[in-house]
Structure 1
Amino acid sequence: MVVSRRKFLGLGAGGAAAVAGLSGCGSRSSLGAADELSMWCWTGSVNDSLIATAEKGIPGATKKLAMTRIGGDYKTKVLTSLAGKSLVPDIIGINDDVATYFPNADQFHDLRELGAGKVESEYLPWKWKLGITPENKMMAFPMDTGPTALFYRRDVFEKAGLPTEPADVAAAAPDWNRYIELGKKLKQAVPGSVITDNITSVFDYALSQLPKRWMTKDGQYIGADEHIKNAWDLAIRVVKEGLSANAQGGSTDANAVITNGRLVAFMGAVWWAQLGPKNAAPKTKGNWRVTAAPGGPGNRGGSFLAITKYCKDPEAAMAFITWLESSKNQAQSFLDPVLFPSTPASYTDPRLTAPDPFFGGQRIVDVFAESAKKYPGAYFSPYDTIIRTPIAAELVNVEIGSKSSDQAWKDAQHQVDRELTRVGAI
């Protein structure tokens, strides 16, 4: 890694500006030296060995990479840099909130003008579309995805007299209603068992399966419509049945319910395998399995790469991106840092299809590959975070007993209306 990039974060804003000023860069708008492409990402967003290769020289280009892993509030730092139009990196990583960058689309290259269309057929169609603005500009290039599935404890299911093999469990819980009934049987047979950590998990994962979300492409708010209310009612039903641990995200209880064995089934994205049972309950190795999610395929998570208008060599940047996100290299990135590919050709790569000992030797990639390929896709708007925040907060109010469902729903919609009006979205 280039030493000046490694020091960048420790220098602070003033120190970074000083380093850039001494770098000999011809324009203060672009970050880094003339013979390198600067890139910002967050920790765990790329494969280190692939980045190390590019730092020596980008394959297919005459530049090398200068990679900086930004800590803290990554998005705020990127948007601040774009707003200042100074010291902007050539390439930036963007998380699954890609649509929040669409209002800044004029500060990014249209990747199709750089030849991205030549490789479009290699990527999941719904993932490809997520990086395209409503004005039909391809602002972001696909990286990983977050397909969802049902994780469950085979040993606990066996103890409860329930089906234990993945195909049988999927058949027993093809939809959320049947999943709740299965959860009630688990709780009766093994007291204390739950099928979700908290109310917002149910809501978010139910939402992740839908072909529409909060807004339409033409800017109409639909977050009070039936599809959202159904997801809301579903989440509240799970709580009322006593099947939620009420372990809110970010709390110490969130991992504890996995460690202590209460969470015996969970509708989760592929990354939950690592963050959940492998991290919080390593002694349960061999007891977990994965199968198709109740309610159908969904997606939560996944990231993108974009080339800013300040890029010193857009063609070299595009060469780097298409190399890094090739099916071969996405397969490598699944091993470390566990990024599920957006390239279907990766799904048969031996590095992905190897049996996973933690899941009893199951080839879990097969389950997530089917979910990724069958996910219907949905429109993500620049205002999704603004909308979800009060919705989630009011769901928590219901779970902790401070509000009724009707009052919380009414308050959530009022807050959403106020926030969207404030930012001029409605």
Structure 2
Amino acid sequence: MVDLQEVVSEKLHWKCDYYICDYFSSDLDNINKDSLEFKNIVWRKRFMQLHVNEVAFRGKTDLPSEVKKLKTPIDFFTYFFTDELFELIYMETNRAAITENVNTSFKVDKYEIRRYIGVLTFMSIFRYPNTESYWSEYGFKNIPNCMSKNKFEQIRKYLSFNDESQRVKKGCAGYDPLFRIRKVAGYLVERFDSIPKNARLCVDEQMCSTKMAHHLRQYLPDKPHPWGVKFFVLCDTNGYAYRFEIYSGSSNHDIILPGTPDIGATGNVVIRLSQTVPNFVNHILYFDNFYTSLPLLVYLRARGIYSLGTVRANRIPKCKLPTDKSEELKKAPRGYSTEFVATAYGADISNVSLLFNKIQSLENLLRETQAQVHNNNQRSSTYQLVEPAHSSTHNIVTNLLANPLICNLLLSSNH
């Protein structure tokens, strides 16, 4: 039997999507963070009620046939690090060597580049006092068996990923602090993003651990690896990273994609990372209070993407939620919540305050609320501004590179 209520709800949901799509189709870039829509927003104390069909995921997560054929760790590695990428690296490396010395006898091919990466990977796993130790009498025999020390040092000297002659000098218009790795980073993002996205996604920062002396290095004491280069990453609940963006200072703030609004530096990061997320298939995007703002929630809803995140009180115009020192919260029991709903640019936004005493309770609370939605058709937590369950942003490639089998295969690469 067909559930008439579900059919009607589904049709109404599609009509709502079409309405929002038509409303924003030509005005997505006109969402103004300083608009009166946000400054004069009116919050009303009520529950946002959504039917289960309104938040049901309608996208496709089936892996491409090319990915399904991958069986071994080296298969997965070569799916992301393709021959095309190795050819780019060896061509640019040879160019750099000839540019420095036109009479040089140095020459490298893509197989030597693969072995070079294998050597670096082994070095990151098996620590020796210095580089020379790997070729010593008591060194790691896999390395000298595949590459001489002189060859390794030559590749390290000339290794290049882009044509240095096209690099704009610092201080000049068009300067790109990431020029030297822009091609490789862009290629890897494209390969990572070829995997269909799961329903629930997350945007957060990740540190690429390093203590090298570089202007991009940062110190974030709250991170597991406080020293390193900061990445903004779009990942899913399995820990797979679909897209990343390397933080390069204030230059990141100036990147506004065509057809998208300028809603502030942090909100623009989410907009850029979510550009390849399919519209109107009910993805749910999580982020923390570093990114959350009303213009961002409205923009994502205009694309048919639900969003959920913690929020700073100063980012909620005319906020009516009780403060930490209010009598209402002092007398309230653990688990108490209050909710206010408002509309901006035709999109409903729910603002929720939750009382708890342990940060760990948030994960269970979110899951319990979602289960309640699916089981009892009660109000949805989709717009609730709570902390999402933690999602690691470590990419599958990190584990692949740490696999000794891959190291050996890279070292012995000759085809």
TM (normalized to structure 2)? 0.24
Greater strand percent: which structure?
A: 2
TM (normalized to structure 1)? 0.23
Q: Which structure has the larger Rg over C-alpha atoms?
A: 2
Greater helix percent: which structure?
A: 1
